Structure 1
Amino acid sequence: MTRLRPPPAPLPLPRPAQVRALLAVLDEAVTAQQRADVAVASCGEPGPVCGQVARDCCDASSAFLHLRARLRKLPLTDPDLVQARAYAGRLLDYVQWMVHQSVNLAFTVHPDARTEAARLQLNGLGRPADDLRRLRDTLKAEE
């Protein structure tokens, strides 16, 4: 009986290719984040929140789920890029969580004064969105 050897591991991508791959995902994330920022801010507008906002949040959440999966699959080997991917992943997780929480506040089944006060504080994604843009811009400067 002959044993089959596993195929050799693929050679790691050169650093410039790794940077480009990471940048492609981050560029899409920043674009998606702009739409999510508007959707989250819309959840905090005074008065009833229209159903389109829920659909926009759902689309944004789905986009971030897919981006997070793509980010995890990137074949990165350079330690600083692996670290940047992990940081970007945490930021994407936050954005997705924020979108989810915003929808929960805007479309709660049991509204009360405390929930409404929290909802009215929503005005966008905040600093983590800025951090993701800065990470993207830092990598773009390296490219």
Structure 2
Amino acid sequence: MRTGTAPDAPAPRAARWLAAVPSFLRPLVRPRPRPRHRRPVPVRPSRPDQLRALLAVLDEAVAAQGPADEAVAACGEPGPVPRGTARDCGLQSIGLHRLRARLQDLGTTDPDLLAAQARAARLLAYDLWMLRASMNLAFADRPVARTEAARLGLNGLGRPADDLRRLRDTLRAELPEG
């Protein structure tokens, strides 16, 4: 059994090469030491856990749609729009924006749930756009007949709000009992 090299054996190739490098360059050419241990691989949550997390955010989003729907409808009321409506739209917009950010930060890895998550994010983006557009119509600096007609046509969030509810209900039906 061989435990080392003989004293008269030539130096290993890497050592000979390193000896040929000038001393001021040696810090630049030395290999990095290997880490002594590997970092543990993070455990991904199971599909039911991911589904529960997604449903929790969707439940809050569906609950937040009621007040947002009322705020959009208030922008479409005939006559002058009260200033409190702008505050209500702003608060609802902040709430929906936070929910959309939470939705995007879920860390979902299941492909089917990723598709549902992306669809829900698009539907919430529509709700945010609708709130902003209704405020722009309701509080225009110089309302003209065309924008006033569009403002009076506002009556809520519309079909995308229903689509978000249906998406949430479809995902809830996939949740295993227990």
TM-score normalized by the length of structure 2:
0.77
SS at match of 1:80: helix
1:79 and 2:111 matched: yes
- What's the CA shift string for 1:88-137, capped at 9, x where partnerless? 00000000000000000001111111110000000000000000000011
In 2, Cα distance between equivalents of 1:98 and 1:81: 25
5+ unaligned residues in a row in structure 2: which ranges? 1-31
CA contact (8 A) 1:44 1:123 kept: yes
Following superposition, the deviation at residue 2 of structure 1 comes to 3.2
Tell me: CA distance 1:121–1:13, structure 2 relative to 1, closer, same or farther (3 Å): same
Which 4+ stretches in 1 moved above 2 angstroms?
1-9
Report which structure shows greater RCO (CA 8 Å, sep ≥6). 1
Structure (1 or 2) with the larger CA radius of gyration: 2
5+ unaligned residues in a row in structure 1: which ranges? none
Q: 1:94 aligns with which of 126, 133, 142?
A: 126
Following superposition, the deviation at residue 6 of structure 1 comes to 7.2
User: Where does residue 2 of structure 1 map in the other structure?
Assistant: 33
Q: How many residues are aligned here?
A: 143
User: Where does residue 126 of structure 1 map in the other structure?
Assistant: 158
Larger proportion of helix: 1
Equivalent pairs: percent with the same residue? 63
In 2, Cα distance between equivalents of 1:87 and 1:6: 37
RMSD: 1.4
In 2, Cα distance between equivalents of 1:53 and 1:9: 49
